[in-house]
Structure 1
Amino acid sequence: MSNDLAARACTACRKDTPKLDAAAIQDLSSQLADWSLRDNDTRIERAYAFDDFASAFAFVSRVAAIAEDADHHPDIAFGWGYARLSFSTHSIGGLHENDFILAARCDRMVSER
């Protein structure tokens, strides 16, 4: 299912773009394994494990490229053997479909390695 989500196009958000409602958040969350809802369902987060620092860095670099291309940027933390991503749409103060689309694209990158 997350492959279908990863294939969707991101849309531009403005401050008046509505946040996702609880039902939409639950529906989209159910399509992503290993992602957790955080901060009263205003962001999603996932940690990935890698064999070494170089692999984590390579993943983060790829995430940065797709985020820049989509103009939708996660918060990223990484180090030796791990990367942690957090998505939220800051302009609306909550979750948008774009957050789930980019999360699915990140998952797809990991499954392709």
Structure 2
Amino acid sequence: MSSSLADGTCVPCKKGAPSLAQEDVESKLQQLNNASRAFAWDASPLSQSPSQIALQRTFKFRNFKTALAFTNSVGAIAEEQKHHPLLVLEWGSVHVAWWTHATGGLHDNDFICAAKTSQIADDAEGIKK
């Protein structure tokens, strides 16, 4: 997958910085999903914090080992970008949610990291598409 979003680099956000407007979220979500139709993301409320909207996707795997390897790869991106997701690892699946705490909403950083996550998924061993 080639995506200008995936080629981006996260920028630091200060608390109270503005989150993206709804029309920007919709546009970037379409760009993100058009880049990798196999892995569609949605912008939806977090189950543990319904007032918080996050980019979310659950990736399915053949087994725990491949799901764990994917989780570690996403973790490496998070460290590199200094932007960290919610990761829920279970047998055969990894749920990934990106949002920006400092803005209280979605930011360009979330779309960059989601695109990078989709790139990893494109080549992940054991992933079910």
**Common topology (TM > 0.5):** yes
Structural RMSD (CA): 1.6
Give the Cα–Cα distance (whole angstroms) in 1 for the partners of residues 60 and 17 of structure 2.
34
Give the Cα–Cα distance (whole angstroms) in 2 for the partners of residues 38 and 2 of structure 1: 25
Give 1 or 2: higher strand fraction. 2
Q: Which runs of 4+ in 1 moved over 6 A?
A: none
Matched residues, percent identical? Answer: 35
Question: How big is the shift at 1:103?
Answer: 0.3
Structure 2 unaligned spans of 5+: 34-39, 46-50, 125-129
Report if the CA contact (8 A) 1:74-1:88 is conserved: yes
1:41, distance to aligned residue in structure 2 (A): 7.3
Structure with bigger helix share is 1
Q: C-alpha displacement at 1:32, in angstroms?
A: 2.4
Q: CA deviation at 1:63?
A: 0.5
Mapping for residues 56-67 of structure 1, pairs under 5 Å: 56-67=67-78
| TM-score w.r.t. length of structure 2 | 0.82
Residue equivalent to 2:43: 37
> Would the aligned equivalents of 1:2 and 1:32 in 2 still touch at CA under 8 Å?
no
CA shift for structure 1 position 36: 1.0
- CA contact 1:35–1:44 (8 Å) conserved in 2: yes
Q: TM-score, normalised by structure 1?
A: 0.93
Equivalent in the alignment of 1:88:
99
Distance 2:123 2:64 in 1: 19
- Uncovered stretches (5+) of structure 1, i.e. residues with no partner: none
